[in-house]
Amino acid sequence: MTTSTTPLPPHPPLDRYYRDEEERRRKVGSWFNEAAGDYDWINQAASFGTGIWYRKQALLRAGLAPGMSLLDAGSGTGVVAAQAQSIVGRSGRVVALDPSLGMLEHAAKRGVRRRVRGVAEALPFPDEKFDLLSMGYALRHVVDLRATFQEYRRALKVGGKVLLLEITPPSSRLAHHLLGLYMGRILPFLARFGRGGRSSRELME
């Protein structure tokens, strides 16, 4: 079986913000570092206050249990990782992975014990290390989907699972319109008043 090495980006380049991969990494890194202080309240506003509960329920439905190991890739401020810690207990192991030091600092304040700076496309872990791998609302920020999922498969134990949390459009046309208005207009407008200012707004656009 041959494996393609052609990069598979999650979306076309956002020319409004960056022109090439090096500039993309700098731009996205600055967004997350500068918006880290606003990220939790923006996240709660985006999920209408259900974000923490929803994440914990998703982990439980995915089969996370005491004593298991989990890698939370693109962990941000550690919302998923903190909930995972409460499930696996001291006998388990949870690692929060994120390229942003600003985000990892906030994860530490949340009580996430194991934090590693890194990217999903090149996981700094040995083969078959984790029972479960989670990624919450961050898949759009990876450089290469193909490399990312190859790394996920490598780092998971045999029989391990991947849990992806993403926003899906409502089936109702009215609900779809209202959600688009809220996420595309109202939330970016509110984000501009946070400590991250322009970075918080651009991150939500």
> Closest Cα partner for 194 from 78, 28, 51, 44?
44
**What CA–CA distances, in Å, run from 28 to 63, 135, 160, 199?**
32, 17, 30, 9
Instruction: State the Cα–Cα distance between residues 96 and 115, nearest whole angstrom.
Output: 5
Give the per-residue pLDDT at 182: 61
Which residues 6+ apart lie within 8 Å of 162 measured at CB?
132, 133, 134, 135, 149, 152, 156
* pTM given for the model: 0.76
3-state secondary structure of 67: coil
pLDDT along the chain (205 residues), means of 10: 65 59 67 64 57 90 98 95 98 97 94 97 98 92 92 98 85 71 65 52 50
What are the structural domain ranges in the chain?
A: 21-40+171-204, 50-165
Placement of tokens 């598979």 in the chain? 8
- Ramachandran bin of 122, using left for φ above 0, alpha for ψ from -120 to 50, beta for the remaining angles: beta
At residue 199, the pLDDT reads 45
Q: Extract the runs of DSSP E, i.e. beta strands, from the chain.
A: 69-73, 93-98, 114-117, 130-136, 156-165
Q: What CATH number does the domain located at 50-165 have?
A: 3.40.50.150
Report the alpha-carbon distance of residue 69 to residue 110 in Å, rounded.
Answer: 19
Residue 57, pLDDT score: 95
- Cα 203 from Cα 57, distance rounded (Å): 26
Amino acid at 97: L
88 Cβ partners below 8 Å, 6+ apart? 64, 65, 66, 67, 68, 69, 70, 94
What's the pLDDT score for residue 173?
A: 80
